[in-house]
Structure 1
Amino acid sequence: MAVEVGGGLEARELECFLVLAEELHFGRAGERLLVSQSRVSQLVRALERRVGARLFSRSSRRVALTPLGERFLARLRPAYAELRAAVEDARSAARGVEGTLRLGFQGAANARLMAAITAFQTAHPGCVTEIVELPFSDPFGAVRRGAVDAAVVLLPVEERDLVLGPLFSKERQNLAVAADHPFTTRTSLTAAEVAALPLVTAAPPAPAYWRRAHAPSEVPGPSVTTLQEGLTLTATGRASMLLCRPTSRYHSRSDVAYVPVDGLPDSTFGLVWHEDGETERVRAFARAIRETT
């Protein structure tokens, strides 16, 4: 049954427009919406008929928003997010914070994260927390796909459709090197020394700006999907890898050593969620972070 939200518009058409505006690809939009590519086209055409003009320009090679589509997106995105939040607030008020909070994390589920989870579960015993480790190479994908409700990821976060909530911690960065590397005799390294080394970097789909932030080197290095792949390459001496102190402790190995680095920005984790996915569970967990860190 279609749900109208005013002016004859249907919520499913608006949802389809927002997803296609992010993906700019009918196939990927269909995957996210769990419908066929032809159904995405049908919903978009129906919305365009209601509006009275094209919102997307299509060709055999690309999909793009028209100028009207850009203006429509700018107005619709916050309004739609507010509508979803209002519905979720009403549901939460009726039943309390319950169900399941799916939480992704990068690096290590360290003591600070576990303290926040414990505080959240103590305050909301009707809500179960599930934690999922995210690939090093895809910090934002699970949030965008709806596979997790929120995620604790390494900054920076420049994605327009993601909300950055409370920050977890700022930690000095360490350089992971092979156990027989000459740097293992050093008490610290400089940023310039690190920049002269081949560093392990995240493979796509991690954004280019995010990859550069975590491998600030002038020398090309290998790209990996997971932290374990990066540490294995490090152990063989093929490259080095930057990790924050808690993550390096969590991933301690006899064939890898860690040396503190001076002059680099601290490694910082933050809670992120999709702008259309801000639920009372997510807000309650954000409060738990603020209260425990």
Structure 2
Amino acid sequence: MSGPTAPAGPVGAPGLELRELECFLVLSEELHFGRTGERLYVSQSRVSQLLRALESRIGARLVDRTSRRVRLTPLGEEFHASLRPAYDALRATVEGARTAARGIEGRLTVGFQGTADDWIMRAIDAFHARHPGCATQIVEIPLCDPFGALRSGAVDVAVTLLPVAEPDLVLGPVFSAQRQTVALSVRHPLASRASLSAEELAGLPLIAPDGPAPVYWRTAQAPLATPEGRPVPAGPRVSTLQEGLTLTAAGRGGMLLCRPTADYHGRRDVAFVPVTGLPDSVLGVVHHAARETARVRAFTAAVREVTAAGTSPRPRHRPDTANGEARHGR
């Protein structure tokens, strides 16, 4: 594991060298002079020299060293706790300036559930037009785990169904409010109806996403009660949209989907009946609070620009997902 790297130079107090702070931080992690030297590409004696210089400037010992162990003094522990966030903030500031100087580059990975609709594809087009040096990868995230890929770092941003109430995640622009339909087997008595009221869902088992999606999110996609409080039976839980549609076709329950997804995933053995009296299905762009980068901010800005235009895109035909492109829906 490589240690922090930065050029030597004055930082704040007169005569204070960044290299000394860098050496102290790495030593605080390794608690070994030899390994610290290896990470910093300097000799063990140079590590000792840098530490002594820092302690001399502070006026107290920061590290206790014996023949058996190396450990931080109480003052060293306090100094490390204060120094680490300040050092990381300084590095982030420098990196931000470098990014601004050379433009948005690298790769941005966007996660979606089910299919990626034209709002997102237009946002990606706008992002590429502004930042041609940044490649965009589009990947599907499981219906049953809307936030896991963000937490693992598998995606930089995710387009997920609302609500989002996660303390470590940031909800950006919301868009694509769509009327809901209920997917039913064509053999179901309600399948021939032109529309249903939300109260008519009472008694109909609703197929819901499974965990690890949080309970509040799952119940938003498959309510346990109608707006007037009548109970709605819990149906099977599924991991993917296709599992849900397959169980729907088999008559195991109904599944709430927005209108564009119903149009996109139309099949002969499933009917999609509009439902009145339910909140619209809404999407949001989400990223991890600890991983907000210039790429993430630029993509979020592109989504805001596209949604602010206010023109609903026309539905596209089903894409070739084998090439890494997909359309969105739920």
Is TM > 0.5 for Structure 1 vs Structure 2? yes
Tell which structure's C-alpha radius of gyration is larger.
2
> Counterparts of 1:257 and 1:80 in 2: how far apart (Å)?
58
Give the alignment of 1:128-277 within 5 angstroms: 128-217=135-224, 218-277=232-291
Q: Distance in 2 between matches of 1:12 and 1:256?
A: 61
Aligned-partner Cα distance in 2 for 1:85–1:184: 56
CA positional deviation for 1:137: 0.3
Q: Which amino acid aligns with 1:231?
A: L
The structure 2 residue matched to 1:91, chosen from 98, 114, 135, is 98
Q: Which runs of 5+ in 1 are unaligned?
A: 14-44, 53-71
In the alignment, residue 233 of structure 2 is paired with which amino acid? V
* Deviation of the 1:50 alpha carbon: 2.1
Taking the aligned partners of 2:291 and 2:161, their CA distance within structure 1 comes to: 20
- Residues matched between the structures, number: 240
Between the aligned partners of 1:264 and 1:80, the Cα distance in structure 2 is: 50
Per-residue CA distance 1:168-214 (angstroms, 9 max, x = gap): 21111110111222222212111122243111111110001100100
1:45-70 CA-to-partner distances (Å, cap 9, x unmatched) read 98x98259xxxxxxxxxxxxxxxxxx
Tell me how large the CA RMSD over aligned residues is: 3.1
Deviation, structure 1 residue 267: 0.5
Q: CA deviation at 1:10?
A: 6.3
Counterpart in the other structure of 2:58: none
Query: Does the aligned pair in 2 maintain the 1:9–1:50 contact within 8 Å?
Result: no
Give the 3 Å change call, closer, same or farther, for CA 209–51 of structure 1 in structure 2: farther
Aligned to 1:23: none
CA separation in 1, counterparts of 2:169 and 2:258? 23
Contact (CA 8 Å) 1:164, 1:271: kept in 2 or not?
Answer: yes
Matched-pair contact (CA < 8 Å) for 1:176–1:242: yes
Is the 1:92–1:280 contact (alpha carbons within 8 Å) kept by the matching residues of 2?
yes
After the TM superposition, which parts of structure 1 deviate over 6 Å for at least 4 consecutive aligned residues? 10-13, 78-84
Alpha-carbon spacing, 1:12–1:180, altered in 2? closer, same or farther (3 Å): farther
1:127 & 1:291 partners in 2: Cα distance?
A: 18
Structure 2 alignment gaps of length 5 or more: 5-17, 30-70, 225-231, 308-330
